[in-house]
Amino acid sequence: MSSEWPLWEIFIRGQHGLNHRHVGSLHAPDAEMAIRNARDVYTRRNEGVSIWVVPSNSISASSPSDKGPLFEPANSKVYRHPTFFDIPEEIGHM
Amino acid sequence: MSGALEAVDRAVFAEWLQRIGDNVLILGHRVSEWCGHGPALEEDIALSNQALDLIGQCQLWLGLAAEVEGKGRTADALAFLRDAGAFRNLLLVERPNGDFGQTLMRQFLFDAFHIELLRALKASSDPRVAEIAAKAEKEVAYHLERSADLVVRLGDGTTESHARMQKALDLLFPYTGEMFADDATDRAMAEAGIAVLPSSLKAGWDRTIADVLAEATLTHPGEVWQHGVKGTGGKTGVHSEYLGFILAEMQFLQRAYPGASW
């Protein structure tokens, strides 16, 4: 039965002010039931204050085989990290 | 605390508390029988959550029943060491699970009553009763939202699901009258202001049932013959044969290994 229901990706916001985070996926016939099911499957230990559901087939993903060209060029560019500034002492921890 | 206790006989108060506690204990056990057998993983978890909600509420009601009774018993002793004749749950909640539609219809018919009861009990003259009712009401509001939604989806679903939901409704409706039948215990509790008369909850329940059944395209069974309304129902300890089987499974461990804990 569940294989006939479409797959949904579930995002839960743990606390006010934090971002929704991807927690997993589940099956449901529509968005309303996906939210109910997400409530029962993913928030039973008091994990959340807000739920987003997204049809899994609406997500476009980068291809794992493109990993080299997409991400490796960033490896050798330490100057892109803002670590070369001297922070005045009175600013304290940033 | 003492005010409410004086307003009504202890034994009557404890009896009334066992009625509520036993309803959620037996229904919770019935729903827990689905664990690992749900029609989909998501449903299985939802049903198990609901069973745990009900058993959790039972601990509060039976804990208070034991306290009011004042004979040194505990909620566990009430749940695991009473025989069928001492249970005070409605006949509806001991009905077999049947197919998923039957389980769901039983849940919906009970949830619609349960929410009316808890809302009324929030205004109880006994603060302990009001407090438990307020806590349980949030859980039960979700139970009703969920069961009503599924009754509509399956009632107004396929020909097969519609037929199963109508069959479940016709099968279970004769067990709903007992929820609203007042007796001497109910009247004493209502006079003390601790509870309300069950019959006063009927109008609200009728509205919920009529609205949801109409949306689900199901036919309301109307006025039908009712079980357990003449003072010989589950509320007075006269049960169907199903309760014995439920208790045999639920109480086995404490009966076979008295005092066992882990």
Q: A37–B46: do the CB atoms touch at under 8 Å?
A: yes
Residue B132 Cα to chain centre, angstroms: 15
Q: A37–B149: do the CB atoms touch at under 8 Å?
A: no
Q: B41–A26: do the CB atoms touch at under 8 Å?
A: yes
> Average pLDDT for residues A45-72, to the nearest whole number?
91
Closest residue in A to B49 (Cα) is A40
Q: Which residues of A38-70 are buried (b: 16+ CB within 10 A; e: fewer)?
A: bbbbbbeeeebeebbbeeeeeeeeeeeeeeeee
DSSP state of B38: -
Q: How large is the greatest C-alpha to C-alpha distance in chain A, in angstroms? A: 63
Token pair of B9 as six digits:
């006989």
ipTM, two decimals: 0.76
Position with higher pLDDT, B109 vs A47 = B109
pLDDT attached to residue B243: 98
Nearest to B31 by CA among B133, B166, B146: B146
A50-55 and A20-27 strand pairing: unpaired
Half-sphere exposure of B19 (CA within 13 A, CB side): 26
CATH no. for B2-256 = 1.20.1260.10
Q: A36–B149: do the CB atoms touch at under 8 Å?
A: yes
Highest mean pLDDT among A42-46, B35-39, B40-44, B87-91: B87-91
Q: B250 — contact with chain A (CB < 8 Å)?
A: no
CA distance A14 to chain B (A): 20
Q: How many CB atoms lie within 10 A of CB A71?
A: 10
| Chain A partners within 8 Å of B51 (Cβ) | none
Of chain A residues 11-40, which have a CB less than 8 A from chain B?
26-29, 32-33, 36-37, 39-40
d(C-alpha B39, C-alpha A60), whole Å: 31
CA angle B188, B118, B164 (to 5 degrees): 115
Token pair of B236 as six digits:
């007075």
pLDDT attached to residue A80: 84
Confidence of residue A3 (pLDDT cuts 50, 70, 90): low
DSSP state of B51: H
Token pair of B74 as six digits:
């505990």
Question: Do B42 and A2 touch, CB atoms closer than 8 A?
Answer: yes
> Average pLDDT for residues B77-100, to the nearest whole number?
97
Q: A37–B42: do the CB atoms touch at under 8 Å?
A: yes
d(C-alpha A50, C-alpha A56), whole Å: 19
Q: A26–B42: do the CB atoms touch at under 8 Å?
A: yes
pLDDT attached to residue B61: 98
Phi, psi dihedrals of residue A52, rounded to the nearest 5°: -115, 140
> Average pLDDT for residues A59-83, to the nearest whole number?
86
* For residue B83, pLDDT beyond 70: yes
pLDDT attached to residue A2: 44
Give the range among A21-25, A41-45, B123-127, B128-132 with minimum mean pLDDT.
A41-45
Confidence of residue A81 (pLDDT cuts 50, 70, 90): confident
d(C-alpha B113, C-alpha B179), whole Å: 8
User: Residue holding tokens 């199903």?
Assistant: B242
Amino acid in the structure at residue B102 = Q
Query: SS3 for B243?
Result: helix
Give the total residue count for chain A: 94
* For residue B240, pLDDT beyond 80: yes
For chain B, the domains span 2-256
* Domains of chain A with bracketed CATH: 2-81 (3.10.20.520)
